[in-house]
A and B are shown apart, each in its own frame.
Chain A
């Protein structure tokens, strides 16, 4: 299978630019990265169809090898539509993010930060059990003592 070198180089540039933008923290750049990367992938699929040939409309006197391969183009068309939908959705999301918090960055996960900062000591599980609070060693059970711990809220 022969490949078009220009196509190959353009594809490489698109991939490089796309991945660079994807690694940014700004959402708009991430989106641009996705768009550029998507176009790189489309070129890759186009290149996978092999050399160009005649339009794939049946003509009686043309051999099967003379036509260009129509399938990659159909695949690209589908991929373009999908990228379009995702781009539209992401634009909406970025706009929403901007509208509610004036932020255009990929934020950290608060819960993750909290978990990573929590101390290893857990009050309930790790505190030493006082020996004299068990209900079973006394002569009588005293439910009232249990009730005394009122709500702290």
Chain B
């Protein structure tokens, strides 16, 4: 099977190997900060280029499998590249690169030369390797290993610096993650006992042959394990508790990627391992509750990072809705919505990091005047925020439209209830966004309960004696000096870049929807996947 398009895909293992190798190198270079940063950025750029090449190969359709070590497929480890996995790889790498540059800029602005930050870059690369491995895994155990790689790296990143708050949040996170991994491992053991294989393509054939009762048990176990990772209600309680305390770039990349890896695994379970959408009703109910409970949590919060964490869990519900409906329309919209949500949620967390930096707090009761102090920050928040809320013509609206159409095509009463719930959730998301906007950006800082002094510097200068001179000059000395120190250009630029990627998802929605439709077609016909893995008896290791 040596034909032209295979050439890109046969490099797929490098998407995992390169970041791991880079992490080792970055760890060796931990005393040389600049070299470390250069190594990390170049490794990510090379990985991204490789993944774009892979995506270009599978853009028109086609599923390719790479067998590692030359072992024949059902026994050896396979890596599978199809539309969905290649797309997820590219989106995740784009986000990772943007967040890395943001973090680098933050580190340079703060001038921290040593301390625990030297572990940030290696751990970050290992996280990337784990995410890539999970997306590429064609083998249930390899998926588990991918999860473990990314989780172990995430433990380190979440507790970076080891402050009281982070250790406390880290405890919950680590214990819950370990428990979900245990459940996953138990499921793998049971699946192996029932079928004698862990290769996902092989499982797709063999799981269908075992007793229906056993199938149900295995299916539920996998869904629970992945449901914890994806933060699906009622297994989502850990997320808003643990994410907000981490450093802003870490929270941003976790929010964007980690839950989506769980969703990815759920989609593979529902389409490849247990096709036929047997749990549609249960998943619909769970999706509705995830949306509602999540967004009601967001409404109750006063801290921007916590509000965003709750909207994050809430919008996972939309993805589960798409999976539960399970027709081509909904599945295509889900693929598109995953990409939209990764980009938008990450941008919002990056903006939250900037707000916290500029204002000294992310509590909306204490915020104000931000639109005046930094109009650019206002723009950077506003675009992804209304995008998240699903205002036309942004990608959030398009994704939700696709999901609603898919639900309408399904047409059952429960599907209609879910459509209503999803619209209500969008409305409540908008309410949350409006609350942040009104308090943090529009009102005067003086009106806040206990405004941070940082917010009063710029405004305060415009009062009293200097009022007449400074009043109508937005680029005055005070705000200028304040901005460049508080909002480093690199951080603003990277947030802006990610916001632009979000806008690009809207602008290129046509071709992207065509593509996600093809990816959904591949997902819903596991035959392609099985044929790609088991059909190629010849090893294609690079």
Binding site for B on A (CB under 8 A): 1, 22, 27, 30, 34, 37-38, 41, 44-45, 47-50, 71-72, 75, 78-79, 82, 85-86, 89-90, 93, 96-97, 100-101, 106-107, 109, 111-112, 115, 118, 123-124, 147, 149-153
Residues of B within 8 A of A90 (CB): 174
Label chain A's interface by main secondary structure.
Answer: helix
Q: Which of the four size classes fits the interface of chain B? A: 35 or more
| List of 8 A-B pairs having minimum Cβ-Cβ separation, nearest first | A48-B193, A45-B189, A44-B189, A48-B192, A48-B189, A107-B168, A96-B162, A82-B148
B175 within 8 Å of A (CB atoms): yes
Complex contact B182–A37 (CB within 8 A): yes
Complex contact B178–A34 (CB within 8 A): yes
CA–CA, A147 and B460, complex, Å: 11
B300 within 8 Å of A (CB atoms): yes
Quick one: which of B156-176 are within 8 Å of A by CB?
156, 159, 162-164, 167-172, 174-175
The distance from the CB of A39 to the nearest CB of chain B, in whole angstroms, is 11
Complex contact B182–A41 (CB within 8 A): yes
Complex contact A86–B174 (CB within 8 A): yes
Complex contact A150–B167 (CB within 8 A): no
Q: Of B164, B178, B190, B192, which contacts A71 at CB under 8 A? A: B192
B141 within 8 Å of A (CB atoms): yes
Binding site for A on B (CB under 8 A): 141, 145, 148, 152, 155-156, 159, 162-164, 167-172, 174-175, 178-179, 181-182, 185-186, 188-190, 192-193, 198, 241, 244, 300-303, 306, 439, 443-447, 449-453, 456, 460, 463
Complex contact B148–A89 (CB within 8 A): no
Complex contact B445–A89 (CB within 8 A): no
Residues of B within 8 A of A89 (CB): 152, 155-156, 174
CA–CA, A106 and B168, complex, Å: 7
Complex contact B186–A78 (CB within 8 A): no
Count, A-B residue pairs, CB within 8 A = 114
CA–CA, A151 and B185, complex, Å: 57
Residues of B within 8 A of A44 (CB): 186, 189-190
Q: Of B175, B301, B449, which contacts A123 at CB under 8 A? A: B449
The distance from the CB of A37 to the nearest CB of chain B, in whole angstroms, is 6
Complex contact B241–A152 (CB within 8 A): no
Known A-B contacts: A41-B182, A151-B445. Give 5 more (CB < 8 A).
Answer: A38-B182, A45-B188, A50-B193, A96-B159, A149-B444
The distance from the CB of B472 to the nearest CB of chain A, in whole angstroms, is 13
Complex contact B453–A153 (CB within 8 A): yes
The distance from the CB of B117 to the nearest CB of chain A, in whole angstroms, is 17
CA–CA, A132 and B451, complex, Å: 26
CA–CA, A6 and B54, complex, Å: 50
CA–CA, A123 and B170, complex, Å: 34
CA–CA, A112 and B244, complex, Å: 12
Residues of B within 8 A of A115 (CB): 300-302
CA–CA, A34 and B446, complex, Å: 50
CA–CA, A150 and B448, complex, Å: 11
Residues of B within 8 A of A107 (CB): 168, 171
Complex contact B174–A22 (CB within 8 A): no
Complex contact B167–A93 (CB within 8 A): yes
Residues of A within 8 A of B300 (CB): 115
Complex contact B192–A152 (CB within 8 A): no
Residues of B within 8 A of A41 (CB): 182, 185-186, 189
